Amino acid sequence: MTQVAVGVAFVLMAGALGAVFLTVALEARTQAWEVVYQQGGQVRRWWFIGLLIFAVVVFILSMTWLPYQFVRNAELGPATTTVQVTAHQFAFDLSSKSLPVGQTIEFDVGSTDVNHGFAIYGPDGRIVGQTQAMPGFTNKLVMKFTTPGTYTLHCDELCGAGHPFMTGSFTVGSSAGSGSSTACGGGGCGPGACGGGGCGPAACGGGSCA
């Protein structure tokens, strides 16, 4: 949707600019300077007014269609879960790696060394969100995940020799939340889980531990 909106805006602006040049070329003729100055001034005035109105309309539409962060925040509503993200060479540290589906999540993203990119890719491999991780500054990325699954993180800002390998992941699921396991009645996975049977494919009556 974002790419389509940007593409449409670009085509419209390019078309308007092309129309200006085409009109000037078609109406060009040799006239006395006084006549050209007077008529040209009137034409420029109306072209300027028209282009100004067009630019304002495109700007207003862009504020609605494009994902400027404050518009996105207003649409998604207050965050129910906040995840602290610390980027460093060459990894991402998340305060929670298990998140709820269908709820508003706020990622507070920062860095301890250099600038990093914080790009989130969905289970289908397509990018769904991105912001910068900057030292001494916190960027807030607000998201709402509607598709359960494993989401991967990639640094998309060149940050050093290990940049290509700077990745991470988190899981989005209906039972996800604070990061604590809900398996085995909320007791989590451990040697004493599931009545002492531990964690495995047959644990918790076949449901396994997650």
State how far the Cα of 38 lies from the Cα of 40, in Å rounded to an integer: 6
Q: Specify the pLDDT at position 43.
A: 81
CA distances from 98 to 73, 126, 207, 209 (A): 21, 20, 18, 14
Tell me which of 18-22, 38-42, 165-169 is least confident. Answer: 38-42
What letters, b where the CB count within 10 A reaches 16 and e where it falls short, cover 96-109?
bbbbbbebbbbbeb
Higher-pLDDT residue of 173 and 206 is 173
| pLDDT band, very low/low/confident/very high, at 103 (cuts 50, 70, 90) | very high
- Give the CA dihedral 28, 29, 33, 34, nearest 10 degrees: -90
- In the block, residue with structure tokens 């420029």: 44
| pLDDT band, very low/low/confident/very high, at 99 (cuts 50, 70, 90) | very high
pLDDT over 50 at 29, yes or no? yes
- In the block, residue with structure tokens 């997650």: 210
pLDDT over 60 at 24, yes or no? yes
Tell me the per-residue pLDDT of 126-153, one tens digit each, with 9 for 90 and over: 999 999 999 999 999 999 999 999 999 9
pLDDT over 70 at 83, yes or no? yes
Domains and CATH numbers, the chain: 3-64 (no CATH), 78-173 (2.60.40.420)
pTM for this predicted structure:
0.55
